[in-house]
Each structure stands twice: as C-alpha cells, then as structure tokens.
Chain A
C-alpha cells in the first residue's frame, strides 16, 4: 500500500510534472514538495511525489555496506570473496 517508486523528473508545469523511469513516462503532482527541479529524483506514491531522493545518500549507504564487505572479506571462504 505504501509502495513508492523512485522516478526522475523530466518536465515541470506548475504543480504537474512528468517523471520517467526505465522508459516509462508518467504525469504526477508536486503539491507535497517545494522547489523540485528537472533532473531530480522523487518517490512517487498514488500519483504524487511524496519526497525527493538524495542520490548522494544512496551512494553513501552502498559505500558503508561495501566497507562492511571489505572488513569481512578476509574471513570469507574463497568462492564468496
């Protein structure tokens, strides 16, 4: 029910916007956010952008997980390393 899909903003017209992901285009509403710009990523739920997505934070999360991976790598069996 609270499923939300990350999509990229392609076009903005007032409170309406067109977002894209994987070749799919969708018209959505921006009523719930301030200062959205073309090129930014937003989470779409029931036709509304509910929050912006921060790509830098996404990358940082993956980097943190990779640090755990690196730390644990030495003790892993060869096929998993």
Chain B
C-alpha cells in the first residue's frame, strides 16, 4: 500500500524533477504573448512561495484572478456582521481571515477591541458547538467561502443546530465568476489553472462549459510546486496544439470526474443560488448562496433585522484591489503596496487574507 507521507510529498517539490518540466515549458512554441489565469488564493500562495513565476518564459504571464473569498467579500456583507455583533448577547464567529478585512474605516478586529464578543473559529462545527454551550447567547456565524467551504457549512447547518445559532451567508461560487471573466474580458485570456480544492466538489465535469460554450482550455491543478508546473505545462501544451480545447484534470489524487456529489447535495438542500456582489467586481448572476425559505430560521439577517448597506465602500481611494482581483493589475503596480499597505496595516482586502494576492506577493517578495 502506498503511503501519502512526507517522503512522497517531498518529491512534489524536488527541484531536480522541476527542471525538465521548466525546459519543456520554455521549448513549447506558442503565440505571443500568452496570458493565463488562476483563480485560487492557495495557488497564488504556492506560486509566490516557490517563486515559480520566475521560471516562466518572458512572453508567458500567469495572473491571479478572483480566487480569494475573503478578498471578494464586499464591505456590505462585513457591515451585516458589524451590525450583528452590536446586537445584545450576540457572539459573532468567523474564520480568522475575515477578522481584519476593512469595511469603511472599521473592521471586526476594531469592533472586538471596542468590547464586542467576536471569536475566530476553525470550523463551522465549532461555531455550532459554541451555540450549544451558550444557550443564553445568540451565536452568529459569518459564513465566507467558495464551494470547498460551502460543503462543510451546509453539513453543519443540517446537523440540527440549536435555535440560538444563525449565519450571515457570504458564500460564493467559482464557475459564475469564470463566466464573467470570459464574457466581460477583452479576449486576451488564454486559459485557466482551475482551483484544486474547489474542484474536489465540482469535479472535472463542473467546468465542461469552458469546453462547450467558450472553447477555452482549463487544467485542474494541485498545490505543490510540481503540481503547478505540470498544470501550467498542460495548459500551454493544449494551446500549442490548438483547438479543440478541453478541461483536463491533473490533480487526480484528490479530484474525481464527477466531484463530491454528497457535498453538492447537502449544499443544494440548504442553499439556493442568488445574484451576488463581489468586492471590486460587482454583481455576478447566480454566484451567491442564500438559505432556502425552509431554513430561514438560520438566517441572522432576518432574525435580527439587519439592513444591507448599499453605500458601504468596497474600494478605498488609492487602492487597486479591484484591478488586482480581476487580474488586470499586479500588486506591485499599486503605489500603496508595501508602503501604506502591509500585512500589519492592510489598506485593501487583498493584503488581509493570507491568500490575498497582495499578501502572498508581499510575504514572498524579492529584494
């Protein structure tokens, strides 16, 4: 029996094995210039950490798209959480990444410093348990994430949570964002590196619209340096060969053809899709998850009469997060990057989450 141990995983970042992949990449003849996009914060983190972009030929660019759920969570959603934590006896819970994301001139971190009960949880299950342990309080969970996270959240909501538990849903779906990028773009996007862990839910078949409706190549890639190099090479090889373009799964140890059907079933039982606002992008049709009518008791927005603030400012003056999120600018193009905007004092959302593009670029920047 093969063990997935450190010995096996170490091979996925062996520089000696990377070299021939890089050489193949450099030898592949393609049109110039080539613009590829990934849509995953974990991919950005891995790319920046291993310095893989420095290995790409100069005419080949791999830009970061809207792949960080924390970064695309609009100020209006955070404002709902800020309202909830001001309600008497509410314990607000959320993932650590959300804690410092700005909404106007405040954040959950600031509200906690002001005395509100805000707690970071690792799992939605922890938030439900907190509600069980505190029957005299109301526990509100700020639910942020893509498909990967929506599955666990759906499971925790279907596991008979107590009546003092509710959520603010800020869950979003990746395929509608890919459609928007292709529909609204200038046609210079040549292919997608598809997000490995979102793909565990969607499967390869979740992206077939890229083949049938858009004829754009896509490769599902894992997160080790060699996974990513192989993904880029797979994409470039397809482009070199020309159409018909297809969706290829190069992360087969984790992603199946059909994806995780059970996770999708649980999500569909409790959520319905809705048009959703993405920070820096705007409204994307059917890209958000809303609790179904029959589960409205779990909806903190109706439970506490929270009002959506349409005026909440998503992009502060001077910040170019909206361009970075769409892959239209690099973090380094921003005059605030590394100066007024650092992980210690983030100005825009892309610097907050550990998977924000600016944060990853800052953390692994070279001198």
Nearest A residue to B2 by beta-carbon distance? A55
Whether A56 is near chain B, meaning CB under 8 Å from some CB there, is yes
- CB-CB under 8 A for A53 and B253, given A58-B8, A72-B23, A76-B19: yes
A69 to B14, CA, bound (A): 11
Partner of A80, one of B19, B148, B152: B19
Nearest A residue to B250 by beta-carbon distance? A61
Neighbouring A residues of B4 by C-beta, 8 Å: 6, 8, 41, 53, 55, 58
Beta-carbon contact of A50 and B201 below 8 Å? yes
Neighbouring B residues of A11 by C-beta, 8 Å: none
Partner of B21, one of A41, A68, A75: A68
- CB-CB under 8 A for A32 and B3, given A2-B198, A50-B201: no
Known A-B contacts: A2-B41, A57-B252, A57-B253. Give 5 more (CB < 8 A): A31-B158, A32-B151, A45-B197, A47-B152, A65-B21
Beta-carbon contact of B148 and A4 below 8 Å? yes
A10 to B200, CA, bound (A): 22
Determine how close the nearest CB of chain B comes to the CB of A14; give it in whole angstroms. Answer: 11
**Residues on B facing A (Cβ under 8 Å):** 1-4, 6, 8-9, 11-12, 16-17, 19-21, 23-24, 40-42, 68-70, 95, 97, 122-126, 144-146, 148-149, 151-153, 155-156, 158-159, 195-198, 200-201, 226-227, 230, 250, 252-256, 260, 262-263, 266, 353, 355
Beta-carbon contact of B152 and A69 below 8 Å? no
Beta-carbon contact of B253 and A54 below 8 Å? yes
Total interface residues in chain A, CB < 8 Å? 41
Beta-carbon contact of A43 and B125 below 8 Å? no
Neighbouring B residues of A24 by C-beta, 8 Å: none
Nearest A residue to B174 by beta-carbon distance? A2
| Interface residues as binary, A11-26 with B (CB distance below 8 Å gives 1, 0 otherwise) | 0000000000010000
Neighbouring A residues of B353 by C-beta, 8 Å: 1
Determine how close the nearest CB of chain A comes to the CB of B267; give it in whole angstroms. Answer: 10
Nearest B residue to A22 by beta-carbon distance? B6
- CB-CB under 8 A for A29 and B155, given A1-B353, A43-B197, A47-B125: yes
A6 to B222, CA, bound (A): 12
Beta-carbon contact of B20 and A71 below 8 Å? yes
Beta-carbon contact of A2 and B197 below 8 Å? yes
Beta-carbon contact of A45 and B149 below 8 Å? yes
Beta-carbon contact of A3 and B11 below 8 Å? no
Beta-carbon contact of B155 and A2 below 8 Å? no
Determine how close the nearest CB of chain A comes to the CB of B67; give it in whole angstroms. Answer: 8
- Complex interface residues of chain A between 24 and 55 (CB less than 8 A to chain B): 29, 31-34, 39, 41, 43, 45-48, 50-51, 53-55
Partner of B69, one of A1, A45, A53, A71: A1
Neighbouring B residues of A76 by C-beta, 8 Å: 19-20
Neighbouring A residues of B227 by C-beta, 8 Å: 61
Which of B2, B23, B262 has the largest count of A CB atoms less than 10 A from its CB?
B2
